[in-house]
Amino acid sequence: MVAPLPSVLFPLSFTSDLVALMLDRFPPNSVVSALGARGLYALGYYTTATALIAGIPTIFTTAAEYFAISETRAPEVRKKAFSHALLNVAVAGISLFNFLTKRKTVDFAPFKFNVALSGVGFVAAVTSAILGGQLLFKYGVGVRRMGLSGPEMAASPLVNVNKDLEIELGLPTIAKPKVKVA
């Protein structure tokens, strides 16, 4: 539940900086430009800060999910998860750089290089979100709905994927689905 916040805030920061830069460059009138750009620059700065702070618990929860993926049984899922993690690290690095450079400017106005770099981060964030959605909905990474997840749930609603917890970790499952014989 912690991953959506940085996923939304990083692109919001880029968008607010881009719109503010456009207001500075092509002002509709001087009052709207001055007030709108300053507010949007501040919004971009503070959303970046919030996303970086919200990213800290996300690192721990997603790392736990990554290491829970079996390398022998699901190598393609593990590769996608690794790509997802690398993209997230790139987005966080770009955001940290932008945060550190914008804090020294008047009204938190970014340099044009910051906005261009944020554009690269925006593409990386969207790509990472798509990979994260595939990991979540297609492969069931991080999801155990009543003992079922991912492809096993789609294939047969009566399969208990918690059996790996019993076998590998020696943990009992909480509830096994009842098999109905027709």
Q: Where are the domains of the chain?
A: 4-143, 146-182
The alpha-helical segments, DSSP class H, found in the chain are 4-25, 30-68, 75-102, 112-133, 150-155, 163-169
Q: Which residues contact 132 (CB under 8 A, 6 or more apart)?
A: 3, 7, 84
Which DSSP string corresponds to 112-161? HHHHHHHHHHHHHHHHHHHHHHIIIIIT-TT--BTTB-HHHHHH-TT--T
What pTM value is reported for the model?
0.71
Digitized pLDDT (tens) for each residue of the chain, 182 residues in all: 677 888 889 889 999 888 888 887 777 766 555 567 788 888 889 999 999 999 899 888 888 888 888 777 678 888 999 999 999 999 999 999 999 998 888 888 888 888 899 999 999 999 999 998 888 888 778 775 444 455 554 454 444 444 555 555 555 555 555 555 55
> In the structure encoding, which two tokens stand for residue 131, read together?
């990979």
